Each structure stands twice: as structure tokens, then as C-alpha cells.
Amino acid sequence: MLANSHPNTFQVLTFGGGDLRKKLNPHITITALGRLTDDTAKVQAYQAADVLLFASRGDNLPLTIQEALACGTPVIANRVGGAVEMVIPGQTGLLTEQLSPESFQLAIASFLKLPTNKRNTLALQAREFAVANFDLARHVEHTLAQYTKAINDFTAN
């Protein structure tokens, strides 16, 4: 529906398995990269996108969202699972109001209305959020601290 109201605006970039061509408006250009096993190629694919569309109806803490944010790509996602912890409206992307195609369409339309400087700010904030929250060394420190606390609590009893 958005492709009809915004002709020549969309290009969909996909990677991984599956074929979206039969499911999307035929007026949308689709570039399918297939399975990307090289991290550099994945980073380039994320960075080529203005926004990641994550239309899952349920997920714990989607790695796809983490990867996109780490590459400075804002995310539009359904308000489900761990997506709500990573996609902060107006900071790292946009969330849908309901689990419906219409709500997803409204979120995409809202993103399209954003001025370029706001989209650039979202991209920078997405990257900053990922660095602050998904840093491997930070997670290792946190995990070790949790194990140390558990061991100390166990041996104290």
C-alpha cells in the first residue's frame, strides 16, 4: 500500500533464505543478497539500509535488531518481546502500536516523513545504544560478576 502512495520510494534489500518477491508489491525493487556468512558483507548490507523492518510476532532478544543497531541502522519493529528493550521510539527506531500490517504500515510512513537530519540522528543513536548495551567485554564482565556472586553466596551458606 505504501508503494502505491510513495511510488519509486522503496527498495527492499534482503539477506538470508526465503523469497519475498511474491509477497510484496511488484512495483518495489527487491535486491536479494542470499545467505551472507561473511561478517563484513553483513555489516555492509545493514549499513546500506535506511531502516531495518522487523515484523516478528514474537522474539526474545532478536540478534537481527542488535546487529542492525550496531551498524547504525534504526529499526521499525512490532512491540513484542525483547524488541521493546532495544527499539526505543524516537531514539533507536520506531515501534508499531499493534500487531497488524496496518500498524506496521503507519510506522513505516512515519519514518518516511522524518527529515533527513532526524534519520541521521536515529542512526547515530542506534549505534551509540548498541555500543553501550551490547559490548562483548561488558557482557563478559557482567557474567563473571554474576557467577562470582553466586559462588560467594553459595559458599557463605
pLDDT given at position 83: 94
pLDDT at 21: 74
| Dihedral, CA of residue 12, residue 51, residue 79 and residue 87, to nearest 10 | 160
Residue 29 lies in a domain: no
- What is the pLDDT averaged over residues 116-137? 94
53 within some domain: yes
* pLDDT tens-digit map of 55-81: 988 888 899 999 999 999 999 999 999
**pLDDT confidence of 127, banded at 50, 70, 90?**
very high
Answer yes or no: is 13 within a domain.
no
Per-residue model confidence (pLDDT) at position 79:
93
Closest CA to 31 of 47, 54, 51, 48: 48
Residue 96 domain flag = yes
Max mean pLDDT range (10-14, 45-49, 59-63): 45-49
Task: Tell whether 25 is covered by a domain.
Answer: no
Is 17 inside any structural domain?
no
Counted domains in the chain:
1
Report yes or no on 7 lying in a domain: no
d(CA 43, CA 52): 13
Q: Label residues 39-53 b or e (16+ Cβ within 10 Å = b).
A: eeebbebbeebbbbb
Q: Cα(147)–Cα(141) distance, rounded to whole angstroms?
A: 10
Q: What CATH number corresponds to the domain at position 71? A: 3.40.50.2000
Q: State the average pLDDT for the chain.
A: 90
Domain carrying residue 122: 36-156
22 in any annotated domain? no
